[in-house]
Each structure stands twice: as structure tokens, then as C-alpha cells.
Amino acid sequence: MYISAILSIEMALNLATIRRQFPILEEKVGNRPLIYLDNAATAQKPLAVLDAMRHFYLHDNANPHRGMHILAERATAALEDARASVTSFLHARHPREIVFTKNATEGINIVANGLGKKWTKGDAVVVSVLEHHSNVVPWLQLKEARGIDVEWIDVDEEGKLDLSSLDRLLKKGNVRLVSVTALSNVFGIRPPLEEIIRRAHAAGALVLVDAAQSVAHGPTDVAALNCDFLVFSGHKLYGPTGIGVLYGKESLLATLPPLLGGGMMIQQVTEQSFVPADVPARFEGGTPPVAEAVGLHAAIDWLLQFDWKDIADHERALLGLAQEELTAVPGLTILGPKDVAHRAGTICFTVDGIHPHDLTHLLGERGICLRAGHHCAQPLHARFSLPATTRLSVALYNTPDEIRSVAPAIRDVLQLLKAEN
Amino acid sequence: MSDTLYAENILEHYRHPQHKHTLTDATVTHEEINASCGDKITLQLIIEEGKVADVGWEGTGCAISQASMSLLSDELMGKTEGELEQMRPSAIHDLLGIDVGLQRIKCALLSLHALKNALRTRHGKEPQTWKETLEA
């Protein structure tokens, strides 16, 4: 690709060049620039992704794996090229280990549905207090349907996992799966995955990694991790919505029944029975999101033109700056790790006496897009008695000037909302 | 129509809420929450001869929910129960003077929801649902 050739001879992360790939960042709110710092919810999409999807619809669109004509062939190739790209992106062994889903949530549901069919009362799943609802509710559904136990690894004030509580749970001998995030969407902390996976495997438990938040901020290596399953969503990786990935070790995926029944996921159907297809097709019932797979492929290519270290250095510098500036705002408390070296992606905070919805609404009127609420992590908020928090989350296109605009705007809003005695 | 949700009258009521205190001899006390935001309002009414003789409330939450309750509490004084039962969401929109939009509608109508269910509680009726409050 000529774009990557041009970029590679420039500085590590030329922000002006990068930002030109994101026309949405030129939007204005009134006469103020739009400042997008809600990247943990979804990342913006570079032109490379939009162009690839448009090219697919203009030239290659057909239903893959279902026709012998030229377009069906191109669409099939586009889908399988995307699978190959994800395979190498995750350092998986084989494309058969890559299932295309709607998003990370569907990936977790496929695993929960599949493994859960074999579990009974007394079996347990362990999750951490950091988890997003997508990695909580599917297990609670199994608790309802199968009577399994859902057990919790606690965290300290900085979000660090209490591994002794994991050991205690594993010692009981009934843990079938440990399902844990690679990066908290609230505390911005990374649990020690290698250690968790080692201990879980030693106790005979499988491990699922929720990489939804981590995938855009650093390399993901399923071979090195030796996790059994891993999920992510394309839209947090600068790709389109509507596509996600479930990685699973082939031998394990092969034992799971499908979640969705329909076309594409079968070998044979009679009036009274069906034989599911092999992996990964058995988990891909219905016409797959081909254009979205093409978009995800383009997003991966686009992202991999940069060095992960450059991305991490840049984003850590942004978070360090944010942490410094926000700490100086009166009444503002930052959650999660104090040392920015232990942080990625996200800073969540509270401000005394101000509801996060008021704060983010008024910041939004000033062009600054942050997120307020429980961030789909109610157990974590309950654990620390937080009603709702405000989140700032960065991407590689954000600039130090954008970060510098936040704290003054918060002071401005505080001034507006505070009662004059 | 203001271009900000946080028009001066709303900020004024948020900073200086009216009738925000606890009544010791309330005819009825009723609490409602907006679970999605964590906004909470406890409304108290003293009703004499079918009319609101006094209003008190306590609450926590966003400026919209609290200002809405403050504005409504002024409005309630002296009204008959019949008049309050007739009150629709449009009355709150008129009081606020802004279009709150879909995302904040429950913040704005928490006050009305608390009022409706305070009256229902007083008459031993089941509380109405959010759907009924929103669609009235």
C-alpha cells in the first residue's frame, strides 16, 4: 500500500498525517472544534476503512460461499482474506481458529452457550470485578439456566486484581472457566493475563480473554498468552461496527455446539435433523458481514503500518498529561492506577457535587466528547460505591492540545453549575 | 428555544432549589428514582381540603432532574388534586422552557413521576409505570 510507504518514511506517528485520515475529526460544534475522547466506546474510522468497504460494494459484492459466479468468488476471497489477516494479527495458528461474530459480546455468548451446555450445578465460572457487562451477563444467564456458580476476583482501589482470591477459588476444584478482561474500560488497568492463565490452567480451568478494550492499544498474541478463547469488536479497532472476532483453540471450538442455527453453519439438513458445519463456519449462521470483514481487514492493515511502541508511547503521554491536568481540578478524583505506566486507553474520574451527566452534557455543548455513566460495569461501580463516573479515553489520533482543552472546560462547567453561596 | 439544555432558569433552580426541605407532617411521602442515572427524588405533600397546602422534597441527581422538581414544586402550591391528576409531561416541558431531547427525558420527568405516584400512594393505588408517565 502506498499510504504505508509514505508514512513509514515520516516521523513515528505524524499526527497531522494521521488526522487527515479521519475527516470526522474536522467536525465543529458551533464554532468550536470537535474533540473526540470517547474512544473506549468506539473509535473513529480512517478513510482507508471507508474506502475499502466502498470498494467492496462497488466492485465485489455478493453472498460469499454461495455461488459459483465471479462476484461470489470475490466476496468469498474478501471474507477469507479478512480471516487470514485477523489470524496473523492475533498470532493464531490457523484461520479455522477465527470466528467472525457481530461483536465481542456475541463471541462471549458463543462460548457461554457452548461450554454451558456441558456444565451443571456445582460448576463455576470466575470473573473479575473489572468486567464489562458483556463478560458478566452471559455467565449469569448460565447461572439461571444451569445453576452454575459465578465467582468474583476482587480488585484493590487501583484496580489491581487480588490473585490470592483467584487461588482460593481455583483450589475448590470446580472452576471450569476464568473469564477476564485484558484492559479495564473504567480503571484503564491491565490484569496480569499470563499469570492468571498459568494458574487457571494448572487448576484445570479454561481461560477466556475479553480483549475489546486492549486490542487497539497494544499487540495481542494468543499463542504467547496461551489463552483458550479471546474476543474483540472491530469498531474499537478503527474498524466498522457489526463485526467482531472470537478466537478459540481449534480443538476447543470443535467441541462447542453452534449458538445460531441457519444457513452457512450446516453440513447437512434433513426434515428432522441437521449436522453442523466444521469450525469456524458452524458459528457463522446466516449471511456474514462481508463488507464489515473487509473494513476490519483494512483497519488492521492501517493500524499495523505503525509501530505498537510508538502508539503506546503517544497514548501514554496523552494519559499522563490528562492525569496531571485533571488532578489539579478541585474536587476531581481519578480512579484506577496512580502511575500512568500501569494505565492504557482510559481515565475515569468523579467530580464532587456534579452529576456526570451534567458534566458531559455541558462539555459536549463545548465540543468535548466524553462518556458518563456506569460504562456497562455496574458491579465495579457498586464495589466502590460510585453512582456514575466520567470517562476520557484516547486514540492514536488525539493530540496534546485536545487533552489540554479538557481541564479548563471542566472548570468552566463547575463554575456554571456551582451555587454561589 | 434555547441552544443549551442548561438555560439560566434551570441553572438558577438547580443552584437555589425551591421547597427543598423535609416536612414533618406530610400527608404523603413518596420516593422515585431514575435507575439509569441514579437520580433520586423524595416528594412530600400536605393536602388540606383537597388542595396542596405545602410541598417539600429531597433529592440528588443531575441538574435537569433537580431543577425540574424545584420548578414543579412552585407550581404545585394551591392546586387541587384533580388539577394535579390532569398534569401531563407537556406541563414540565413548559416549565423548563427547553426541548430536553430523548436522552434526558426521564431526568426531566422524574418530578412528574414522583408527583403522580405520590397521589396514587395517598389513595392506596398501585404506582404507575414510567411508560404511563412518559406517554400521558
B95 touches A: beta carbon within 8 Å: no
CATH number of the structural domain A2-45+307-417: 3.90.1150.10
Contacts of A418 in chain B (CB under 8 A): 15
Q: What is the DSSP letter of A285?
A: -
pLDDT value of position A329: 96
**Across the interface, which of B5, B11, B14 has its CB nearest the CB of A361?**
B5
Helices (H) and strands (E) in chain B, counts: 6, 3
Supply the CATH classification number for the domain B8-127.
Answer: 3.90.1010.10
Task: Average the pLDDT over A195-207 and give the result.
Answer: 98
**The C-alpha cell of B71 is what?**
420548578
Three-class secondary structure of residue A281 per DSSP: helix
Strands A124-128 and A175-181: parallel
Percent of chain A residues past pLDDT 70, beyond the cut: 97
Report which listed range, A85-94, A348-357, B37-46, is most confident.
Answer: A85-94
Q: Does the beta carbon of B18 lie under 8 angstroms from any beta carbon of chain A?
A: no
Residue-range domain boundaries for chain A = 2-45+307-417, 51-304
Predicted local distance difference test score (pLDDT) of residue A150? 98
Enumerate the residues of chain B whose CB falls inside 8 A of the CB of residue A419: 14-16
| CA A325 from centroid of its chain's CA atoms | 27
Separation of alpha carbons A399 and A405, rounded Å: 10
- Pairwise CA distance, residues A390 & A410, whole Å: 11
pLDDT attached to residue B6: 87
Q: What's the confidence (pLDDT) of residue A10?
A: 43
* B19 within 8 A of B57, measured Cβ to Cβ: yes
Chain mean pLDDT for chain B: 92
Question: Is the Cβ of A32 closer than 8 Å to some Cβ of chain B?
Answer: no
Return the number of CB contacts < 8 Å for A and B. Answer: 39
pTM: 0.92
| Contacting A residues, span 263-322, partner chain B, CB-CB under 8 Å | none
Report chain A's mean pLDDT, rounded to a whole number.
Answer: 94
- The domain ranges of chain B are 8-127
Rounded Cα distance, B111 and B70, in Å: 9
What tens digit of pLDDT does each residue of A86-145 get? Answer: 999 999 999 999 999 999 999 999 999 999 999 999 999 999 999 999 999 999 999 999
Distance CA A207, CA A180 (A): 8
Q: Based on C-alpha coordinates, what's the Rg of chain A?
A: 22
What's the pLDDT at B36? 75
Establish whether A376 is a catalytic residue: yes
- Best interface-test mutation with B: which of A31, A351, A352, A358 has the largest number of B CBs within 10 A? A358
Burial (0-12, 13-18, 19+ Cβ within 10 Å), A213: buried
With cut-offs at 50, 70 and 90, classify the pLDDT of residue A17. very high
Q: Please report residues of B whose CB lies closer than 8 A to that of A387.
A: 38
Task: Characterize the bridge pairing of strands B39-48 and B28-34.
Answer: antiparallel
What confidence score (pLDDT) does residue B106 get? 92
Query: pLDDT at position A7, please?
Result: 44
Q: What is the DSSP letter of A133?
A: G
State residue A139's pLDDT score.
Answer: 98
User: What is the mean predicted confidence (pLDDT) over A288-295?
Assistant: 98
| Same fold: A2-45+307-417 with A51-304 | no
The reported pLDDT for the residue numbered A68 is 86
Provide the pLDDT for residue A78.
97
Q: Which amino acid is at A181?
A: T
| Per-residue pLDDT reduced to its tens digit, B55-65 | 999 999 999 99
B98 shares contact with chain A (CB less than 8 Å):
no
Q: What is the pLDDT of residue A419?
A: 58
For A27-81, write each residue's pLDDT tens digit.
999 999 999 999 999 999 999 999 999 999 999 999 998 778 999 999 999 999 9
Average pLDDT of the residues in B104-112: 93
Look up the CATH number of domain A51-304: 3.40.640.10
pLDDT band at A335 (very low <50, low <70, confident <90, very high): very high
Q: Tell me if B62 and A357 make a contact (CB, 8 A cut-off).
A: yes
Q: What is the pLDDT of residue B102?
A: 83
Note the pLDDT of residue A1.
Answer: 41
Cα–Cα distance measured from residue A154 to residue B98, given in angstroms and rounded to the nearest whole number: 44
Structure confidence at residue A8 as a pLDDT band (50, 70, 90): very low
pLDDT tier at A421, thresholds 50, 70, 90: very low
What confidence score (pLDDT) does residue A4 get?
46
Q: How far is CA A72 from CA A265, A346, B76, in A?
A: 18, 42, 67
Identify the three-state secondary structure at position B38: coil
* Number of Cβ within a 10 Å radius of residue B84: 20
| Nearest alpha-carbon partner for A312 in A343, A348, A347, A349 | A343
- The residue type at A251: S
pLDDT at A388: 85
Say whether B63 and A365 touch across the interface (CB within 8 A).
no
Contacts of B15 in chain A (CB under 8 A): 417-420
**pLDDT value of position B136:** 83
